[in-house]
Amino acid sequence: MAVLGISLIVASVVLLILRRPEWFQQFWRNLYRQAASQQNQLPRPPQRPIPRIEEPKPEDEDDQTNQKERERIAVSSEKKVASSPPPPVPVVIHENGTSITYNPDSPRAEEQTTPKASVANPSDSVPAFTLSVPDLPPQPQPPKVVDVEEQPAPAVTSSSSTSNARSTPSMMMPPPPLPVPASASRSTGSSGGLSANLTRQPGTSTLPLPGSRPVGGSGSSGPLPNRGPPSSSGGGGLFPPPTHSSKPAKPSRAVVLTPGHSPLDWARLSGHPTADLRGLPKETPYLRVTPSMLKKMTGRKGKDAWMVLGGRVYNITPYIPFHPGGEPELLRGAGRDGTKLFGEIHPWVNYEGMLAACLVGIYVSEEDGEAAGAAAAKNGAGGGGGSMEEMD
C-alpha cells in the first residue's frame, strides 16, 4: 500500500511538471509574489542556507524544497514570465567567517545603480583588528640585541605584544639617540677652527662679532658664524655669556670721495706705464732722501707731501683726493716715516702697487746723503740729499 501511495504521488508530481496546467502555474505565480513581497518588507533576506564559495555544501544536504525550487526556476525561465521576478541571486563574499550578500532584488538596488552589500549572517561577529594575537603559536625568539650602553627599556605589561614586537624586528624602532651635551659637542668640535675664522680684521664691518648677538635670541645650530668661543664657565646655553674681551666694532672713518676720485679712477690714472706722478722734473733719477730732506716735504708751503713706506719715499700729493680715509688722515704721515702708522690702519693695502708712479727714491741716513748734497740742492729738496745715480 505504501509503495502504491508513493508511486501515485510521484506520478502526479511528474504529471504536473510535464503537463503544467493553468491552475498550477497560477499557484506558483502567487507563491512568487508572496515571497517577493516578504523580501521587500524584511530588512534582511530570509535566513536560508547560502551556498558558500569556500565551503560548498554537498548535494545530498539539499532538501526536497530546494529541488522543487530549482525546477520552478527552470520552468519559469523557459516561459519567460515577466511578472515573476527571478529568485534572488546572492553574491556571497566569504572572508574570515563573515558572509556579505548582495541582493539585487532589494528596492535600493532597483533605485540605485551601484550594488550595495549587506550582511547576510548578522550573527557572525565583526572581525576586529587587535594588536594582541593570543592564538598565535609561539614563535622563535630572535637573538637578543644588547645595546652598548644598556639603556633601560620601557616596561611592557602585555606579554603577547612583547612577543610580537620581538618577533618582528623590522617593526621595532630604534631608540632615539641621546642628546649630545653642548659642552661635549663644543669640546669635540672645532673650537679653535670656527672661532679662529672669526678673528676680525680691522676695517671689516660685515661679519658680526661673536658677542654682538643678543643673549637668548634665536639660537641657530647651523654653520652660520654666530657661535663664539667655547664658554669657560661651562654653561648649558647655546650662546656663551657676553665677554668684554672682544673689541667693539669701530665706526668707519672712510670719507666720501669727490666725483672722479674713486679707487678705480686712481688705478686708471696711476696704472698707465708712462704715468709720472713723482712731482720731479722729467728724467730725474731716483733720489736718496735723507731725514732732513723728508721733513720739509709735508705738503704745506707749496711743497709736495712725501712719505716713507717700507724704506721708500713716495710723493703722496697726487693721491690726496683719492685717499678713502681723507686728506687729513693721509697727511698724518707726510714728511715722515709712515710705515708703522700705515700698518696700524690698513696693512692689507698694497701701497707698492698703488704708488708705483709716485716713487721718489729711497730713504737714507744723513751721512749717506751728505755726499750728494749738491745734487739734492739741484732737485730743490734742500740739503742733505742726492740722486741715486750720483750716489752709485
The contact set with ligand HEM (CB under 6 A) reads: 203, 252-254, 316, 319, 323-325, 329-330, 332-333, 338, 341-342, 345-346, 349, 351, 354-355
Integer distance in angstroms from the first to the last C-alpha of the chain?
164
Q: Which is nearer to ligand HEM, 88 or 333 (CB)?
A: 333
C-alpha cell at 185: 659637542
CB closer to ligand HEM out of 310 and 373: 310
CB 203 to ligand HEM: min, Å: 5
Query: What is the number of other CB atoms lying within 10 angstroms of the CB of residue 381?
Result: 27
Distance in angstroms (rounded) separating the CA atoms of residues 328 and 350: 20
3-state secondary structure of 332: coil
DSSP 8-state symbol, 305: B
Classified as helix, coil or strand, 93 is strand
CB nearer ligand HEM, residue 360 or residue 375: 360
Q: What's the min distance (Å) between Cβ of 304 and ligand HEM?
A: 14
Instruction: Please identify, using beta-carbon distances, which residue of 137 and 251 lies nearer to ligand HEM.
Output: 251
> For residue 98, what are the β-bridge partners?
95
What region does 281 belong to: left with phi over 0, alpha with psi -120 to 50, or beta? beta
CB closer to ligand HEM, 238 vs 345:
345
137 CB burial (10 A radius; 0-12, 13-18, 19+) = exposed
**For residues 62 and 329, which CB has a smaller minimum distance to ligand HEM in the complex?**
329
If the CB atoms of residues 108 and 346 are measured against ligand HEM, the closer one turns out to be 346
In whole angstroms, the minimum distance from the beta carbon of 263 to ligand HEM comes to 6
Q: Which residue has the cell 526536497?
A: 64
Q: How far is the CB of 338 from ligand HEM (least distance, A)?
A: 4
Least Å distance, CB 197 to ligand HEM, is 20
What residue number has its CB nearest to ligand HEM?
325
Quote the least distance from Cβ 368 to ligand HEM, whole Å. 24
Cβ pair 382, 289 in contact under 8 A? no
Least distance from C-beta 272 to ligand HEM, angstroms? Answer: 17
Contact status, residue 228 vs residue 202, Cβ threshold 8 Å: no
* Strands 98-102, 312-315: pairing kind: unpaired
- Using CA atoms, how far residue 77 sits from 13, 40, 50, 64, 169, in Å, is 19, 22, 22, 20, 60
